[in-house]
Amino acid sequence: MKITKLLAYQVDLPLHEGRYNWSGGKSVAVFDSTVVRIETDEGVVGHGEVCPLGPVYLPSYAAGVRAGLAELGPHLIGADPLSLGALNRLMDSRLKGHPYVKSAVDMACWDILGQRAGEPVSTLLGGRHGEDVILYRAISCEAPEAMAARVADYRAEGYSRFQLKVGNDPDTDIERIRAAAAKLKPGDRLVADANTGWLPHEAMRVVRAVRDLDVYIEQPCATYEECLSIRRHCDHPFVLDESIDDIGTLLRAHADGAMDVANLKISKFGGLTKTRLARDLCVEMGVAMTLEDTWGGDIVTAAIAHLAHSTPEAFRFTATDFNSYVTRDIADGAPRRKNGRMAASTAPGLGVAPRAEALGEPALVIDRAA
């Protein structure tokens, strides 16, 4: 099989809640997502999606996806989408770094492979574990009482895992964590995700001030070394996210005992192929995972569902259903949250069919080899 055409579509994804706020006053109102469509000489068509969390979360940005695809795309014409290892090596040999650019291409090729095999991507990634996947709800940074109220509201929707966006003023963050923790019920899990927002002295104050609470601490500081230092001074379960962006950092963090949970985002690693490797290493090393992406709509959510559903349940700390945060449905067949959980599609491939009217005209069409 050969890739004959690559198209990219720009899609705006507004939020039901209007805005999403996280550390350092950072905020997004409308997410800028890119859907990739890959056509082949055998008529099989695959789709992928990538959506950076704005331009200042990771070294990635929405327009950079499209610019990167314009650079990379001509090298993919004529390549075999079924040979995912070779395809990833080809992408890495033609564009150094920029894993997020490659993520939607790799995802679309998994969709093609699944359709060709007649199997859902979750089967190809290792097989389904359990009936469904437990989701977490990210709680946008607001005043402490408003965030605590959200915990109760989201529990009413079926969620039992709550990720508070903190990483702003440490005194208010302590109040945020305390107010939210007061709303927890048995079996709930609370994560305080500072998204690199605290300096080490601030992080030290926060973890001391909430020491009596059952709360996970996620990525308190900007650098790996700063996070490791906080980790060694606190006894909360500890999650690393922004610092874990490739296999090398994952192995180093495990060797240093720097985390209990790793947050694996598909586009951070550059697609499902490399995230599967990270996932499988975490299972071997005994590290639980949050399985997700930097944001997205129906196609990203479908890919997360396949990755998470094919991960042994004991290692699935949680996952995300981004398509329930945004107001636009861009594909049919995507998983829909039910009682705080979602299940991967059992249809071949990713199991999604993008809606032509939601995608509009392509922002990029590549049908000639480099």
Q: Which residues bind Mg ion (CB under 5 A)?
A: 193, 241
Closest approach, Cβ 58 to Mg ion, in A, equals 11
Closest approach, Cβ 140 to Mg ion, in A, equals 13
CA 126 to chain centre: 19
Which of 193/245 has CB closer to Mg ion? 193
Which of 32/193 has CB closer to Mg ion? 193
81, 90 in Cβ contact below 8 A? no
Helix (H) / strand (E) element for 81: namely: none
Residue nearest to Mg ion (CB): 241
Write out the DSSP string of 23-65. GGG-EESEEEEEEEEEEETTS-EEEEEE--SSSSSSS--HHHH
What positions carry a catalytic annotation?
165, 265
Burial category of 30 from C-beta neighbours within 10 Å (exposed 0-12, middle 13-18, buried 19 and up):
middle
Which of 119/142 has CB closer to Mg ion? 142
Token reading at 291: 């399985």
CA atoms within 13 A on the CB side of 58: 28
Distance of alpha carbon 113 from alpha carbon 124, whole angstroms? 9
Which of 38/259 has CB closer to Mg ion? 259
Distance of alpha carbon 333 from alpha carbon 353, whole angstroms? 6
* 3-state percent breakdown (helix, strand, coil) of the chain, nearest 5: 40, 25, 40
Token reading at 258: 């720097």
Tokens 């042994």 identify what position? 312
Closest approach, Cβ 365 to Mg ion, in A, equals 35
Closest approach, Cβ 195 to Mg ion, in A, equals 6
Which of 83/249 has CB closer to Mg ion? 249
Cα–Cα distances in angstroms (integers) from residue 78 to residues 75, 270, 309, 337, 370, in the given order:
8, 21, 32, 38, 10
Which of 9/295 has CB closer to Mg ion? 295
Closest approach, Cβ 216 to Mg ion, in A, equals 11
Alpha helices (runs of H) in the chain, residue ranges in sequence order: 62-76, 84-94, 99-117, 121-124, 144-156, 170-181, 200-209, 224-231, 247-255, 266-269, 272-285, 298-309, 356-359
Closest approach, Cβ 241 to Mg ion, in A, equals 4
User: Nearest CA to 115 among 105, 127, 128, 124?
Assistant: 124
Distance of alpha carbon 311 from alpha carbon 313, whole angstroms? 6
Which of 53/104 has CB closer to Mg ion? 53
Closest approach, Cβ 219 to Mg ion, in A, equals 6
